[in-house]
Amino acid sequence: MKKAALIVFTILLLDQVLKIWIKTTFYMGESHAIFGNWFYLHFTENEGMAYGMKLGGSYGKLLLSLFRVIAVFIIGWWLYRATKKGENIMLIICISLILAGALGNILDSAFYGLIFNESTYMQIATLFPKEGGYGTFLHGKVVDMLYFPIIETHYPKWFPFFGGEDFVFFRPVFNIADSAITTGVSVLIVFQKKVFTTLKKIDSGEGSPVTR
């Protein structure tokens, strides 16, 4: 359990430190190249899901925030059970990554509207402004800043629907929390046979639990 807690704490700390720094030092839309033209810190905010996806309206935002809270409790319980049963260390790491990422974005949604004023193209946000925050509980915006336009080109003119339009890979702007969730889920999917076969063997008594 200590290893899982350390993973969650470390990712959560890095995620929130970077978000608060970006929020209090960047104008909305401000962008700085870090490594040539393929990695930028680009400040944007989204009101919905990872990578800029969203549900419409205030009720959609509230529904998404409540879903995140419920999901965190479920994932937290899953992690607790996995560590108590001494399950595969790869599974524990993946669950820890997913939990840390979910918590990171929940903090934005739950509290950023209360503790920051609005970020605009003309104003840098202030932490704990005298006039109060820009939103209410569970209606905060998620801070994104990691942008990797590794390939920038155009669709060929003969390409259906998008012929001649700009093509950017990878276009979405995201954050450390999003990365943690994506990494955890991706590893579970790619290595599911190894992870869940090991668990099946342990449950059937064919092997011994991995030492935590």
Distance CA 156, CA 149 (A): 19
In whole angstroms, give the CA distance from residue 24 to residue 183. Answer: 28
Residue carrying structure tokens 């932490």? 127
Catalytic residue numbers, as ranges: 144, 178
Provide the b/e sequence for 31-48 (b: ≥16 CB within 10 Å): eeeeeeeeebbbbbbbbb
Return the H-helix or E-strand segment holding 153: strand 151-154
Quote the CA–CA distance of 192 and 176 in Å, as a whole number.
Answer: 23
